Structure 1
Amino acid sequence: MWLRDEEHYQIVKTTWQEKDTSITTRLSHTLNSLHKWGREKFGIIPQRIKETQEELQTLNDQTNNTVYMHNIKKKERELDELLQCEEIWWSQRARTMWLKHGDKNTSYFH
């Protein structure tokens, strides 16, 4: 999900260019920076989806003219992006759960 956002590259580049630090320190700082950024950027996706849906509904309720149509299209693209991010998150989460619990090779799964 992070790879869809161009900002991740800049965070890694900036953190990795710290002078006078060991590789393990750079890796640790990069990981911490990415986790913080991920929480701030993607941690509130359900809340952002709800807010965007409400804003879109408000725009749809207003009179139809070209200014509102442009804003509606913009909000629809934003909502599509958020929904796609949420779908990727759930897909990654489901895979993580499967890897954690596995199928244990029991007869149930055969």
Structure 2
Amino acid sequence: MSSFFNTTHFKRSLLLVFLLIVIVHSRYCGLGECSNESWRLYKMQFKKQYNSIAEDDHRRQIFCGNINMIDAHNERYKRGEVTFEMGVNQFADLTSEEFRRWLHTGSIDNGSVVIARV
């Protein structure tokens, strides 16, 4: 079964899931906005806890950058320029490199808890 997790098809499927999971976007923030409340709701919904205030701040910056990227992409979706909508999921506090590492290895320690594939 472990070879299944290393297949290109599986990795592409996970990437597609990452891109297509859509949670009601307005629940988190409006276009270009990343509020303390949206960060608090994100951490509460996905049970995120960080090891330090510095790590929390770092993850919030990544989260806000990802929110801005999601907003920009969804504006393109509304204009018919792309075919899918994006949304916030449990990976929104990861950089793209950290997410790729997670796809490759199946786990990553991002300063909160170790996220492992189930």
TM score, norm. by length of structure 1: 0.37
Compare the two structures and name the one with the higher helix fraction. Answer: 1
Compare the two structures and name the one with the higher strand fraction. Answer: 2
The higher relative CO (CA closer than 8 Å, separation ≥ 6) is in 2
Higher Cα radius of gyration: 1
TM score, norm. by length of structure 2: 0.35
